[in-house]
Amino acid sequence: MKKIAVVGTGYVGLVTGTCFAETGNQVVCVDIDEQKVEKMRNGFVPIYEPHLDVLFERNIKANRLSFTTSLEEGIEDAEIIFLALPTPPGEDGSADLSYILGVADELGKLIKEYKVIVDKSTVPVGTAEKVHAAVQANAKVDFDIVSNPEFLREGFAVDDFLKPDRVVIGTSSERAEKVMEQLYKPFVRQGNPIIFMDEKSAELTKYAANSFLATKITFMNEIANFCEKVGADVDKVRIGIGSDTRIGKRFLFPGIGYGGSCFPKDVQALVKSGREENFEFEILNAVMAINEQQKTVLLPKIKNFFRGNLKGKRIGMWGLAFKPDTDDIREAPALYMIEALLKEGAQIKAYDPEAMENVKSQIGDVISYEANEYDALKEVDALIICTEWGIFRNPDFGKMKENMKDAVIFDGRNLFDIEEMTSKGFYYNSIGRKTIE
């Protein structure tokens, strides 16, 4: 059993804290957001993440998981302090380290005995040194800094955390290495590796992983766009290339661009880090530019269908979250589509199983929020699919047609079979596949 503090209880911090409690550790989660802490103290999970609620409840009941707004109280007994704080893009696109360095500065004043301070946030190369210096400035006791980037995916966060493909630990301290190895052992019993390395390599591993994945998606989006030009079918191409084990089947689905709180900001931050070293990541520049266009790739198609005029058109929208199984809307392609469609004078009736509250608090009532997927279709001129939630995959097509003014679908996630949709009487336009008029 280890005593752990997790500072920052967002998607990463709360999952980290809960999963460490699940393996028998004593965890205190610290957050500056008083409302959030109050909610968690009352037993409510403040985010939507599948399976998190069961573990959350169980560990609170077992007194292994508690919450506080006080950093001092939270870290007092902890041997290991995780920083799971935001690193949003600053004005120039580089990662904003003020949250992390602010807490590091506080920690220097607060720690009274040896602590392992672990950076779980995604941070540029060299941050461990900066955190070390910030703590050192006030610390009167020994401490070690570890870079332990997190690879969980929202929507699968609990599974990913409990059974990680790998754990990356960057530290130059043998003492800290041992502590981290003991902590993570229960999570890699199947034989997946704990990979030890220096801090800088660990920091870069996370950016390299996300940038590679963003590039993979973007490559497929470009192939899809080209498929449309030449009459090829991206689904066939995807399967054709994915069965080559060097390429792999995963992460090859084209769509309306990547979003979320990680890929856009991490690609941008890596490019920015490069520039600071007079190094230009040409491939990532292209990835960012292509993704920017891809987010609204459906717009010219829709405009073309309605002969250039969307004024007064009613558009149903399925999906607002940046991907299924999350309520996270950060950099969600749906938000870019909403902005573009409203600018054209269209009206939007949206439905998302989990993300509507977040969208409402960000953009207000400029669109209408519907009770279910079928209400979002009432009297609409067309439907746009922005997120591939499971419930959208096998809908009642008859009911859809009954509700819609016109049976017109623009699918940004390629959910349906083209021939089947055509035989059901839909105009069905998707990404990288033919459209039967």
| 6 to 25: interface string for ligand NAD, x by CB under 6 A | -xxxxxxx------------
Q: What is the DSSP string of 172-201?
A: S-HHHHHHHHHHHGGGGTTSPPEEEE-HHH
* 358 vs 430 by CB, closer to ligand NAD: 358
Q: Which of 19, 29, 227, 262 is catalytic?
A: 262
Radius of gyration of the chain (CA): 23
| Residue 358 is a binding residue for ligand NAD (CB under 6 A) | no
* 265 vs 433 by CB, closer to ligand NAD: 265
Structure-block tokens of residue 232: 């090829």
CB neighbour list of residue 59: distance below 8 Å, 6 or more residues apart: 18, 21, 22, 27, 65
96: left (phi over 0), alpha (psi -120 to 50) or beta: beta
* 30 vs 415 by CB, closer to ligand NAD: 30
The piece of 27-35, 244-252, 291-299, 388-396 that touches ligand NAD (CB under 6 A) is 27-35
Annotated catalytic residue 227 = no
CA–CA distances in Å: residue 24 to residues 185, 246, 423? 12, 39, 56
CA–CA distances in Å: residue 374 to residues 90, 357, 384, 389? 40, 19, 13, 14
Quote the least distance from Cβ 184 to ligand NAD, whole Å.
16
- Measured from each CB, the residue nearest to ligand NAD is 10
| 129 to 158: interface string for ligand NAD, x by CB under 6 A | ---------------------x-x-x----
Q: What is the DSSP string of 414-437?
A: --S-HHHHHHTT-EEE-SSS----
Quote the least distance from Cβ 66 to ligand NAD, whole Å.
15
**In contact, 27 and 4? CB cutoff 8 Å:** yes
Number of residues located near ligand NAD, criterion CB under 6 A: 26
| Residue 214 is a binding residue for ligand NAD (CB under 6 A) | no
Q: How many helices (H) and strands (E) does the chain have?
A: 17, 14
Quote the least distance from Cβ 103 to ligand NAD, whole Å.
5
DSSP secondary structure letter of residue 112: -
Return the closest-CA partner of residue 337 out of 359, 357, 354: 359
Residues between 254 and 273 with contacts to ligand NAD, criterion CB under 6 A: 261-262
* 35 vs 394 by CB, closer to ligand NAD: 35
Quote the least distance from Cβ 176 to ligand NAD, whole Å.
20
Longest dimension (CA), the chain: 74
* 8 vs 316 by CB, closer to ligand NAD: 8
Residues between 61 and 90 with contacts to ligand NAD, criterion CB under 6 A: 84-87
Binding interface with ligand NAD (CB under 6 A) = 7-13, 30-33, 36, 84-87, 99, 102-103, 121-122, 150, 152, 154, 261-262
> Would you name the residues annotated as active-site residues?
262
